[in-house]
Chains A and B, each alone.
Chain A
Amino acid sequence: MTAASPPAPVPGPTASVPAGRPSPGRRLATWLHRHPRSRLGLILLLPLLWLVVAYLGSLGVLFLNAFWSRDPFTSLVVRQFTLDNFTELFTTEVYRVVTLRTVTMALVVTATCIVIAFPIAYYMARVASRRTRGLMVVAVVMPLWASYLIKAYSWRLILADQGVLDWALKPLGLTGPGYGDIAVWLVFVYLWLPYMILPIYAGLERIPSSLLEASSDLGGRGWITFRRVILPLSIPAVAAGSIFTFSLTLGDYIVPGLVSTTQFIGNVIFVNVAQNLPLAAAFALVPLAIMLLYLFIVRRFGAFDAL
């Protein structure tokens, strides 16, 4: 057993079986050994309390709030079932506009990420040497984890009036887009890009070389092989990556606040949390429902197999 296990465990002298009267720990261990169901129960007790009771419970509380209302005079939550929040959401123009705007942004960001991620992922998976590939994976993963807030903030600096971008474009006689919807799009693409690169890279890497050889043997030139073999085979990976880019854009409210004054679903929810919690809770179900629908769609493209 010492040969195969990764870091070979070395049982010290303390591991030897003690003789004589068993210690309380030993008795407990024996009891646990004889009762596998109780052992499993003890193992799962804490995690289940935390994740199922506390976390899912909290989501349940939020869900309940969506069906309550706020007393306009006292601003307190009235715990009585009502569908008023949903009526308001569906009949007020602004919620529809904001939802449509957010979904459009999420789709455009996702499409842009696919276009930008594909070449680099392809290079990593099929062109780069093994060593370069390893280095590039680290190079793409690390910024993914670098402070989200600082990455967004850096774009505030870059896009500022007379900022880095204006300075760089000045010799060309151009100016940057400044703060606004284009800035929001740019920052989202920047923030979520690694989430798209990594699944596509993994997907492309898994395509067996024999398929590409077969295509070229059958007369498929580079471009045809790419379009008729590689592209269709990479669809599940692209769909998997799009889950992240779409979902993350749908709920974010920090970025729009930093580089624009446009309201997205997240901003509207956030503003309402303090003013009208039941309405905010009801509106929070909108990105949730859209996300479930999105997951349902991409599952048909095999996204879940490529995660």
Chain B
Amino acid sequence: MKSFSLSRIGLRIATGLVLAFIYLPLAVVLMYAFNASGTNAWPPSGFTLKWFGEAAANTGLQQAFLTSIACALGATLIALLLGLLISIAVSRYHFFGRESISFVILLPIALPGIVTGMALSTTFASLSVPLGILTVIVGHATFCVVLVYNNAIARLRRTSRSFEEASADLGAHTFQTFRYVTFPSIRSALLAGALLAFALSFDEVIVTIFTAGGVKTLPIWIFQSFRLANQVPLVNVAGVVAIMLSVIPVYLATRLTADAGGVAGTRT
């Protein structure tokens, strides 16, 4: 393909600018986390690590962090189970409504968060379920299922059913076939889906606000501390931690699926 070198240079510059636009704001938060002065005045006055120590010692922040981990783990486990079950049913069986099921799974993530959040909180209220960590997990699991499902179904569609039939012919029963044939072939896809689910749940704000009641997850803590001047350095540190804890799982997930079709949303 021939293209003018001038337009090629222009394209390169535009690409560089967009990447800078994407990464500079993240770099700003990172720099503030090491800012000696503890205010959000720019430019930073010096380098310090003390806010990381203070953040680690802050009980409110600790609690929020642990709550977020617990919610993300709970939501991921449920999403794994539900996503796995649906992907097996859709890829290995024919049944009425099979096409619409993938639409229903997508719905919680496609609809605006405020709609899902309101729907769940209204339902919890009318069933008089007390809001707390469990309701947060239920909310998160609902929109995390699609991530596990997408990864698992992509892998299941590529693995031939004949392996499972061969296993059955060799005398393995249903559970053995799952354990020794189906599961090993989709293990890395499940792990990738689980990592994405964890990252998504760890970050989620809107549905969490509606389902948390008094419980504070890390994003809720950050959200409530934005405007408090004395919390500023801790918010910056929490921001760096939040970025890391979502970016690292996603990076691992991309690596896990890099040679086998890519993560949901990326085509490699």
Q: Do B223 and A284 touch across chains, with their CB atoms under 8 A apart?
A: no
Which A residues are CB-close (under 8 A) to B154? none
Q: Do B14 and A154 touch across chains, with their CB atoms under 8 A apart?
A: no
Q: Do A157 and B32 touch across chains, with their CB atoms under 8 A apart?
A: yes
Q: Does B163 contact A (CB under 8 A)?
A: yes
User: Measured between C-beta atoms, what is the minimum distance from A176 to chain B in Å?
Assistant: 11
The 8 A CB mask of A73-93 against B (1 = contact, 0 = none) is 000000000000000000000
Q: Do A158 and B25 touch across chains, with their CB atoms under 8 A apart?
A: yes
Query: Could you tell me the distance between the alpha carbons of A94 and B206 in the complex, rounded to whole angstroms?
Result: 24
Q: Does A287 contact B (CB under 8 A)?
A: yes
Contact (A33, B42) CB under 8 Å given A142-B250, A145-B247, A156-B226? no
Question: Which segment, of B46-54, B56-64, B69-77, B108-116, faces chain A?
Answer: B108-116
Q: Do B180 and A153 touch across chains, with their CB atoms under 8 A apart?
A: no
Q: Do B265 and A141 touch across chains, with their CB atoms under 8 A apart?
A: yes
A6 contact from B12, B88, B159, Cβ within 8 A? B159
Q: Does B41 contact A (CB under 8 A)?
A: yes
Mostly helix, strand, loop or mixed at chain A's interface? helix
Query: Could you tell me the distance between the alpha carbons of A158 and B111 in the complex, rounded to whole angstroms?
Result: 30
Q: Do A43 and B185 touch across chains, with their CB atoms under 8 A apart?
A: no
The 8 A CB mask of A246-278 against B (1 = contact, 0 = none) is 011011111000100000001001100100010
B residues 105-124 in Cβ contact with A at 8 Å: 105, 107-108, 110-115, 118-123
Which A residues are CB-close (under 8 A) to B25? 151, 154-155, 158, 190
The 8 A CB mask of A104-139 against B (1 = contact, 0 = none) is 000000000000110110111011000000101111
B114 contact from A9, A46, A251, Cβ within 8 A? A251
Q: Does A205 contact B (CB under 8 A)?
A: yes
Q: Do B43 and A216 touch across chains, with their CB atoms under 8 A apart?
A: no
Q: Do B28 and A62 touch across chains, with their CB atoms under 8 A apart?
A: no
Query: Could you tell me the distance between the alpha carbons of A212 and B3 in the complex, rounded to whole angstroms?
Result: 11
Q: Do B142 and A251 touch across chains, with their CB atoms under 8 A apart?
A: no
Residue among B166, B210, B235, B265 facing the most chain A CB atoms (10 A cut-off): B265
Q: Do A148 and B203 touch across chains, with their CB atoms under 8 A apart?
A: yes
Q: Do A153 and B22 touch across chains, with their CB atoms under 8 A apart?
A: no
Which A residues are CB-close (under 8 A) to B239? 147, 150, 153-154
Which B residues are CB-close (under 8 A) to A25? 173, 175
Q: Do B2 and A216 touch across chains, with their CB atoms under 8 A apart?
A: yes
Q: Do B26 and A154 touch across chains, with their CB atoms under 8 A apart?
A: yes
Residue among A154, A193, A194, A247 facing the most chain B CB atoms (10 A cut-off): A154
Query: Could you tell me the distance between the alpha carbons of A253 and B209 in the complex, rounded to whole angstroms?
Result: 12
A residues 8-26 in Cβ contact with B at 8 Å: 8-9, 11, 15, 17, 25-26
Which A residues are CB-close (under 8 A) to B226? 153, 156, 258
Q: Do B185 and A9 touch across chains, with their CB atoms under 8 A apart?
A: yes
Q: Do B42 and A40 touch across chains, with their CB atoms under 8 A apart?
A: no
Q: Do A145 and B200 touch across chains, with their CB atoms under 8 A apart?
A: yes
Which A residues are CB-close (under 8 A) to B246? 145-147
CB-nearest residue of chain B relative to A189? B21
| Range of interface residues on A (Cβ < 8 Å) | 35 or more
A residues 155-178 in Cβ contact with B at 8 Å: 155-158, 160, 162-164, 167
The 8 A CB mask of A48-61 against B (1 = contact, 0 = none) is 00111011111101
The 8 A CB mask of A265-307 against B (1 = contact, 0 = none) is 0100110010001001100100110010000000000000000
The 8 A CB mask of B199-236 against A (1 = contact, 0 = none) is 11001011000100000000100110010000000010
Residues of A within 8 A of B (CB): 1, 4-9, 11, 15, 17, 25-26, 29-30, 32-33, 36, 39-40, 43-44, 46-47, 50-52, 54-59, 61-62, 65, 116-117, 119-120, 122-124, 126-127, 134, 136-151, 153-158, 160, 162-164, 167, 190, 193-194, 197-198, 202, 205, 209, 212-213, 216, 222, 247-248, 250-254, 258, 266, 269-270, 273, 277, 280-281, 284, 287-288, 291
Complex A-B, nearest 8 residue pairs according to Cβ-Cβ distance, in ascending order:
A251-B112, A29-B173, A119-B14, A154-B25, A58-B119, A147-B242, A150-B239, A58-B123
Residues of B within 8 A of A (CB): 1-4, 7-8, 11-12, 14-15, 18-19, 21-23, 25-26, 28-29, 32, 40-43, 78, 81-82, 85-86, 88-89, 93, 95, 101, 104-105, 107-108, 110-115, 118-123, 126, 138, 141-142, 145, 159-160, 163, 166, 168, 171-176, 180-181, 184-185, 187-188, 196, 199-200, 203, 205-206, 210, 219, 222-223, 226, 235, 239, 242-243, 246-247, 250-251, 254, 258, 260, 263, 265-268
